[in-house]
Chains A and B, each alone.
Chain A
Amino acid sequence: MRSYKLNHVRQLESEAIFVLRETAAQFDRPALLFSGGKDSIVMAHLARKAFHPARIPFMLLHVDTGHNFPETIEFRDRFVKEIGASLVVAYVQDSIDKGRVVEEQGIHASRNKLQTVTLLDAIETHQFDAALGGGRRDEEKARAKERFFSHRNDFGEWDPKGQRPELWNLFNGRHHHGEHFRVFPLSNWTEMDVWQYIKHEAIDLPSLYFSHRREVVDRHGSLLAVSDVVRVQPDETSEERTVRFRTIGDMTCTGGVDSAATSLDDIIAEVAAARETERGTRSDDKRSESAMEDRKKEGYF
């Protein structure tokens, strides 16, 4: 008799497509959070698969800190056009100009935390009742506790100790007016799964993920890309190195790693041998042991 078995990547794909379709079915106005990073690109790819041959039945939402790598924005605009999706951009700069948030000062100033307010404002303005995110449980220990369908109260807050039980594949998206959900279709994926899937599906990525020469400054162990928003301080020296980025966030808090990986195969080999977590390059997570949990409670991604 024929054996009906799916390998792990197909199982994860099927699960993610199921979750994306549940989101479309259970919510009135879902949005897909799109940053131009690999996880959100994989999400958009899965969304195309889930609703093919129809278009993705929700908007893409990008919270733009103004501190993006130019390569990311260029990629974002081209990608969105190619898949025929509609994109809403919410600018952290607007939140600053309106006085909704106050910019941090000093050389470690980051707009990372400010994004939460911009995100929650955008969710309210556009009346989104679900925001699909590319977060994975393997990324960080607070995220390991997150549900696929994660409830947010009227203030956008997450209550990690009072989460709804989630059993089998029965996702409960019922909510009162004003509340919303964060939905994480990639919950069960690991960094390696994402890369293997990108390779298997031949998904196009921003060039930042691949090794290239770049002027960087070593700031507390993070190799930050020198730019308008990351200036070399008098006591620092910059140098040109061959680096790539394992995650893509703000230029102010995303560090590169020394790498010669120019192809997906190289990257997969590098990920397999990596001795640091992916988010080890993110200084936003290093602020304290509970940095992610604290931000998430307030409504972060």
Chain B
Amino acid sequence: MEMDLLRFTTAGSVDDGKSTLIGRLLYDSKSIFEDQLEAMEESSRKRGDEHLNLALLTDGLRAEREQGITIDVAYRYFATPRRKFIIADTPGHMQYTRNMVTGASTASLAIILIDARKGVIEQTCRHAFIANLLRIQHAVVAVNKMDLVDYQEETYEAIVAEFQDFASRLDNIVEITFIPISALRGDNVVATSDQMPWYGGPTLLHHLETVYVGSEENHVDARFPVQWVIRPQSDTHPDFRGYAGRVAGGVFKPGDEVLVLPSGFATHVSAIETFDGQIEEAFSPLSVTITLDDDIDISRGDMIVKPNNPPRVDQDIEAMICWFSERPLVSRGKYALRHTTKEVRAVVRDIRFKVDINTLHKIEGDPEFGLNEIGRISLRTSAPLFYDRYNRNRTTGSFVLIDEQTNEAVAAGMIV
């Protein structure tokens, strides 16, 4: 029952064999059920595939199966006796950036696939850059299709060296593990390959089961975005007034001195309530209800913090964004901005630069900011945000921009 949860994402270009790899992981770890297998065998036969097509397992939409491509992020679940896994399987093309950013936003580890025949290509750099931008600290570089390069150590070592050279510029990724595999043949995915005696490292699954992933949560800076005010006004609880939310950082205990933003009132935590009774402490990512000593006017979007360590409070925001919409970003454009439980309006004041994500070069002075582009902008919001840098806190440092006409999310933002 007491199991660890690891969320990871997969990135690779078209035909790098990403869906096959996930299919292989699930198949060899016995996470595929017989009825799913039968349906896959049937579909493989209909398509005229030579082998059982493991990719059919993850391609959930009819259009995906027809075209043999993955369109949208799909989530997969499997467990071994050691760990539970949530995979965000992101497509290698069609909206690749948007989908990879989405998948990476909740992941702690990224698997970056490289085709051994092609080596490190532009898209590999792009995937590594996005993983780094979204602050994924652990990467696995799976050098796939080793069977097609005769399982040669030299080919593998050259790719490792090339990737390391590029990755030295990515400072959020703190750990990179390289594994030579063949997803199609199953080499080093779940079972150790006897084709590559020169490789002494773990199989992919063994690494995923054992890699130490420290908490992504920030347990230092106390942050409690108020989500909902609970006021039963019932006979049993006539005066109860609690603030429901999910701890976004730090630790809260009864008796703690706290500060409420934006009002600036100081008070103390009287209790941390849950359905199962009061608890002694609340830390991220727990959902709890906090009651305070004083009756203060607090509503959704406010934040409870500690006076000695408050977040930044500002209407001028600098952020890296990834643009998701076919309608380009407009300088001076106004959008709705959603940050923690707060929604404000924001105007784009300046496009600082864009990033050529294949070379990591800055592009300055280009007023066009289109679909799948990444860069830095400055914003002014209609009300102050209570925020931290994204690299310090993924929850209080992230936001989305929403087009107020279509209600579509048009950008993901990471505050710098």
Contact = CB atoms under 8 A, between A and B. Distances in A.
Q: Are A and B associated in one complex?
A: yes
Interface of A: 3-11, 13-15, 17-18, 21-22, 24-25, 48-55, 137-138, 140-145, 160-161, 163-170, 172, 174-176, 187-188, 190, 192, 196, 200, 274-277, 280, 289-290, 293
Interface size classification for chain B:
35 or more
A276 B34 contact: yes
Given A53-B232, A53-B236, A21 B227 contact: yes
A165 B412 contact: yes
A165 B336 CA distance: 15
A33 B78 CA distance: 27
A51 to B, nearest CB: 6
B68 to A, nearest CB: 15
B275 A49 contact: yes
Given A144-B60, A163-B72, A170 B77 contact: no
Contacts of B217: 4
Interface string B67-106: 0000111111101000010100000000000110110011
A277 B36 contact: yes
A7 B79 contact: no
Interface stretch (B2-10, B182-190, B192-200): B2-10
B360 interface: no
Contacts of A55: 232, 234
Interface stretch (B119-127, B285-293, B351-359, B380-388): B285-293
A267 B134 CA distance: 40
B324 A165 contact: yes
A167 B413 CA distance: 10
Interface string B1-36: 111110000000000000000000000000001111
Contacts, number: 180
Contact of B398 (A49, A160, A167): A167
Contact of B62 (A176, A277, A290): A290
A145 B61 contact: yes
A10 B231 CA distance: 25
Nearest to A138: B77
B15 to A, nearest CB: 21
Contacts of A190: 77, 79, 84
19 contacts: A3-B215, A4-B217, A6-B286, A7-B3, A14-B286, A14-B287, A21-B244, A25-B300, A50-B244, A53-B230, A54-B237, A165-B101, A165-B400, A167-B106, A174-B407, A176-B407, A274-B33, A280-B34, A289-B62
A213 B98 CA distance: 52
Contacts of A187: 75
A22 B79 CA distance: 29
Nearest to B230: A54
A9 B5 CA distance: 9
B39 A188 contact: no
Contacts of B58: 141, 144
